[in-house]
Amino acid sequence: MRSRYVAYALELEPYLLATWHPTTRPAALSFDKEEKSRWLGLTIKRHEVLDPDHAIVEFVARYKIGGRAYRLHETSRFVREDGRWFYVDGDIKD
């Protein structure tokens, strides 16, 4: 999760797509916004291993766009295949 946060902050699309599970991965990501996001921090709230190949991570990521602060609170699902963890999807919380 931490590496994906850094990849979002640095807009490293190839890394994000490579760590996204093929069944849910988009074809591309769009970082071409007029106003860029400025990422401010990541807090891991909870990490739970469900079995050897499935885990969830609950996190809060803080960022600003155009001087306005936002937060993304999500519980993400990950799966391990061939020894590598992949982001599958997540549920956004209010």
| Sequence-ordered strand ranges (E) for 1-67 | 37-51, 54-65
Burial class (CB in 10 A: 0-12, 13-18, 19+), 73: middle
Residue 91 has which token pair? Answer: 């549920």
Q: pTM here? A: 0.90
* Domain ranges (residues) in the chain: 2-93
* pLDDT tens digits along 18-32: 999 999 999 999 887
Specify the CATH number of the domain 2-93.
3.10.450.50
Only one residue has tokens 């591309």, namely: 28
pLDDT tens column, 32-41: 777 788 999 9
